[in-house]
Amino acid sequence: MSNCNRNWQKDISGCGLVGFINRKGEAVGGEKIIRGISCMNERGNGLGAGFAAYGIYPQFKDLYAFHVMYDSRQAQVECEGLFKERLHVVHNEEIPTRATKGIGCHPILRRYFVRAPKEAAESCPAGGFSEDDYMVGLVMDVNLKVNGAFVFSSGKDMGGFKGVGHPEQIADFFRIDDYSGYIWTGHTRFPTNTPGWWGGAHPFTLLDWSIVHNGEISSYGINKRYLEMFGYHCTLFTDTEVVAYLLDLLIRKHGLSKRMACHVLAPPFWDDIDRMEEGEREAFTALRAIYGSAALNGPFAILFAYSGGLVGLNDRVKLRPLVAATKGEWTYMASEECSIRAVCPEPDRVWCPRAGDPVVAELDGAESFLKESEHVADLTSKTGRVAGVGR
């Protein structure tokens, strides 16, 4: 083979992702995320793309924003009947779109700004009502029981926008340039063993968690069965869905820190744990024993965002690329450095996070890449509490 032909070859890892956060909470328009994801089109094939943005609904910031896609008017009627029974809908409307070349047939797309009715709280014992739990239960019921209806975003003051197409097409279709947010993530998809359809595009969301992913979750089966024990149901036909639900379970329900949750998803190898100091070894042993069924196997790079920050994480041997950078109050993460430089030409620092070592960037703070020893006390306390075996 000639050198000329070799130059045209490239090892494609499949899927591209990019995200950034302004740690001061200052909003930026959607044009920035479009530039960041559009330079990685070779990582996708037009069968899925999407965006998540935070701070985009200030007029409804205290309400849950349900983005719903319907396959038919019958599905819409059935779902809206369920909403009428179980929610207080303050406002609902079509999700604004524009005619876009390359996007023809698409689901019916609507958004609902809602809160739980007073009756729901009054029916629970004193102090026993959680509006977040109520909303998660409703999302699961719609996606599992209403044929042809899918809630694809359900957080407060944030939204997910996704579909079948290249990133520029999905951005144009959903009018992403009309929104401003302080956290943005973007994704271009290259489906491998799951279908390319509107609900299967990234991001995957639940409450204010949103996930974009490059890779393959080969532990999907055991992760799915584990989640079902806690009332979560995977219905969107792709492996990434388990990550959104695992984060909700680990962080919101079980009270783990963001970093601890990352160590559940990408735990240290047993031989690495054996070489740790005693307290650290005890903590990570408990974490692996308790949450073995929540660990993610397979190659992956993920970005997960929430109302307070953005986190990037690789699998334990870094089989998928992830690059991070900072510039002033901004933190960036992406599959490729070119994507970061498309929106930040001269970053202060650029680095490749280590395998299994999360980068945590939060509002009003710097990015966090602390040593594991600085988390051992909290890790030991919480794993002991969950297991019921304190030190």
Q: Does residue 196 register a pLDDT over 90?
A: no
Lowest-pLDDT range, 9-13, 18-22, 286-290? 9-13
Q: Is the pLDDT of residue 22 over 80?
A: yes
% pLDDT > 70, the chain: 90
Position 128 scores a pLDDT of 83
Per domain, the residue ranges of the chain are 12-56+157-387
Q: pLDDT class for 347, splitting at 50, 70, 90?
A: very high
Supply the mean pLDDT for the chain. Answer: 90
Residue-wise pLDDT tens digits, 203-212? 999 999 999 9
Is the pLDDT reported for residue 1 higher than 70?
no
Find out whether 323 and 333 touch, Cβ atoms under 8 Å: yes
Mean local confidence (pLDDT), 346-367: 90
Q: What is the mean pLDDT of residues 346-374?
A: 80
Alpha-carbon span 275 to 286, nearest angstrom = 15
Residues 49-86: tens digit of each pLDDT: 999 999 999 999 999 999 999 999 999 999 999 999 99
Enumerate the active-site residues: 15
Averaged pLDDT, 109-114: 98
Query: pLDDT tens digits, residue range 261-317?
Result: 999 999 999 999 999 999 999 999 999 999 999 999 999 999 999 999 999 999 999
pLDDT for the residue 193: 72
Q: Is the CATH code 2.160.10.10 the one for domain 12-56+157-387? A: no
- Provide the residue type at 342 as one letter: A
pLDDT at residue 390 greater than cutoff 60: no
Give the mean pLDDT of 368-381: 50
Phi, psi of 284 (to 5 degrees): -70, -30
* Residue whose tokens read 């710097």: 366
Least confident of 39-43, 150-154, 218-222, 256-260: 39-43
- Separation of alpha carbons 133 and 116, rounded Å: 10
pLDDT over 90 at 364, yes or no? no
Q: Over pLDDT 90: what percentage of the chain? A: 82
Q: What is the pLDDT of residue 384?
A: 55
* Cα angle value 312/197/304 (rounded, 5°): 15
pLDDT surpassing 70 at residue 372: no
Tokens 């004193």 correspond to 126
